[in-house]
Structure 1
Amino acid sequence: MENKKRRILEAAMLCFERFGFRGTTIGSVAKTAGMSKSGIYDCFENKEALLQEIVRGILGELVEETERAVRAGRPLRDDIETTFDAVIALRGRHRLLVGIYREARVFGTQGVVDMRKTLEEGVVSYIEGLVRRHEERGEQFRLPARVIAFLVYRVYLQLIYDWEDLYEPLPPEQIKAALKSFAL
């Protein structure tokens, strides 16, 4: 069952990346996975459930990668940089993330808007946890942990999505430098 589920999720990710959420159907996922629609429905209720499972996996990857790189004794700004190294790497590996944000913004598709919120809440909660760990070690901040986490992530989103609507994309190093100088 695990192999079947993994095959479905890989096919769904390809379809969501290629066709977007609106353009992906259970039929297209089934065809890409080389199985019947009923085989998909045996594991997932609908395409929203597929996207939700994919997003949970991506968030898990983010936390795993970041936790491996975060080091005790470093200031929060270094841990934030490490976190965004992982976010930038995931964004490069999972074009689906870019698609989720663009489709949510352009079309307002409810399932995609919900997944964008899930992604954002997951990342903000993770960053909030980092801030709280640093507070427990004695670092002091002018704003509450949740506010810092929200601002850091929102500035990041503005620099990668809204900035690109007006200007040439910023390189990752410039994005991280802006986050460090602005938010912390």
Structure 2
Amino acid sequence: MENKRRRILDGAMLCFERFGFRGTTIESVAKAAHVSKSSIYDCFENKEALLRAIVEDVLDDLLEESTRACLPGQPLRVDIDRTFDAVIALRERHRLLVGIYREARLSGGHGVLEMRRALEEGVVQYIERLVRRHEASGERFRLEPKVIAFLVYRSYLQLIYDWEDLYAPLPPEQIKTALNAFAL
């Protein structure tokens, strides 16, 4: 059953990346996953549940990679750099993230907005815990941990999505330097 569920999630991710949330159907996911539509409904209630499961997997991947990179004793600046190295690597592996943000921004569809919020909240909570850990070890910051986390993550989104609507993409090092401005 787990193998079939994984195939369904992989097929759904492919479809969501290719067709967007609105353009993806259960039938297209079944075809991409090489399963029947009823197999999908055995594992997932609907298309929204499929997207939710994918977002949870992506968030788990991000948190796992970032946790491995954030070693005790490093300053927050280094942890932010390493966390966003993980985000950037994940973004390359999961093009769906780009699609979620673009589709939510363009269409404002409820299912996509809900997934975008869930993903953002998970990342902001993780960064907040990271800042609090540094605060507990003696580092001092001008802003509250939740504010730092929110500003860092939202600034990241602005620099990779909105910036690229107007200008050439920024190199990752320049993005990380900008993000650390909130923590210093």
How many Å apart are 1:178 and its aligned residue? Answer: 1.4
Structure 2: how far apart are the matches of 1:153 and 1:7?
Answer: 31
Shift in alpha-carbon separation, 1:62–1:145, aligned structure 2, 3 A = same
RMSD, aligned CA? 0.8
Residue 93 of structure 2: aligned partner: 93
Structure 1 counterpart of 2:107, one-letter code: F
1:90-131 deviation line (CA, Å, top 9, x unaligned): 101100000000000001011000000011000000000000
1:128-153 deviation line (CA, Å, top 9, x unaligned): 00001001101111111100000000
Instruction: Identify which range, 171-180 or 149-158, moves more after superposition.
Output: 171-180
Q: How many residues align?
A: 184
What SS does structure 1 have at the residue aligned with 2:181? helix
1:25-67 deviation line (CA, Å, top 9, x unaligned): 0010011111211110000000100000000011101111011
Residue 72 of structure 1: aligned partner: 72
Structure 2 counterpart of 1:81, one-letter code: D
Q: What pairs up with 1:19-38 in 2 under 5 angstroms?
A: 19-38=19-38
Residue 50 of structure 2: aligned partner: 50
How many Å apart are 1:174 and its aligned residue? Answer: 1.2
What TM-score results when the alignment is normalised by the length of structure 1? Answer: 0.98
Structure 2: how far apart are the matches of 1:89 and 1:12?
Answer: 21
Structure 2: how far apart are the matches of 1:79 and 1:33?
Answer: 37
Structure 1: how far apart are the matches of 2:127 and 2:181?
Answer: 17
Instruction: Identify which range, 174-183 or 78-87, moves more after superposition.
Output: 174-183
Residue 177 of structure 1: aligned partner: 177
Structure 2 counterpart of 1:175, one-letter code: I
Residue 7 of structure 1: aligned partner: 7
Whether 2:116 is the aligned partner of 1:116: answer yes
List, as ranges, runs of 4+ consecutive aligned residues in structure 1 with deviation greater than 2 Å: 181-184
How many Å apart are 1:181 and its aligned residue? Answer: 2.9
Structure 1 stretches lacking a partner, 5+ long: none
8 Å CA contact 1:151, 1:183 repeated in 2: no
Structure 2: how far apart are the matches of 1:181 and 1:37?
Answer: 49
Structure 2: how far apart are the matches of 1:32 and 1:164?
Answer: 31
What TM-score results when the alignment is normalised by the length of structure 2? Answer: 0.98
Structure 1: how far apart are the matches of 2:97 and 2:183?
Answer: 23
What SS does structure 2 have at the residue aligned with 1:169? coil
Shift in alpha-carbon separation, 1:116–1:16, aligned structure 2, 3 A = same
Structure 1: how far apart are the matches of 2:23 and 2:154?
Answer: 28
